[in-house]
Amino acid sequence: MSLLKLNELYKTVILDHAQHPHHHGQLAEVPGVTLNNPSCGDVIQVQIEVQHQQINRIAFSGTGCTISQASASVMTDVLSQQTVTQAQQLIHDFSQLIMGKSLTTAAKHQLGDAAVLGTVAEFPTRIRCAMLAWHAAEQCLAEIGGTDNGSKS
């Protein structure tokens, strides 16, 4: 894919997710993790409900720059319905990508739209913005400890 097409795809994905975020809001009675990025003013809360070792529901709320909001939206799409282990691997892969490391084609495919955010690696000051929600999800999963939460069954 040419650099021009990749930049256009990046802009389209970022703007669409920032203007029309997926899984935005709060989940009643589901614990979450709130992180902030003081350099940009971003504040993101991520809530994850796990049932039978699978992410049943995921949501984010908060405010921030276009990149942090878009990245949070993309992340919720990527992690939704994944097992805890798969989600942890996807978070790791995204972290590697955003730091400028290369990933296999299969790993990029698993990241979906999040792979497009890899171009943020070219802008070191924006890496924190893109990673904020992913770090919150990682901490949320660690706090859950792979156990079911929010389950009524």
pTM, two decimal places: 0.87
Confidence of residue 107 (pLDDT cuts 50, 70, 90): very high
Cα end-to-end span (Å), the chain: 47
What pLDDT is stored for residue 72 in this prediction?
A: 96
* 97 vs 20, residue with greater confidence: 97
What pLDDT is stored for residue 10 in this prediction?
A: 64
What pLDDT is stored for residue 7 in this prediction?
A: 61
What is the fold of 3-144? Sufe protein. Chain: A (3.90.1010)
Q: Which of 8-12, 19-23, 52-56, 103-107 has the lowest mean pLDDT?
A: 8-12
R_g (Cα) of the chain, nearest Å: 15
Task: Describe the crossing of helices 66-79 and 84-98 by its angle, rounded to 10 degrees.
Answer: 150
Please name the residue that has the structure tokens 């350099």.
39
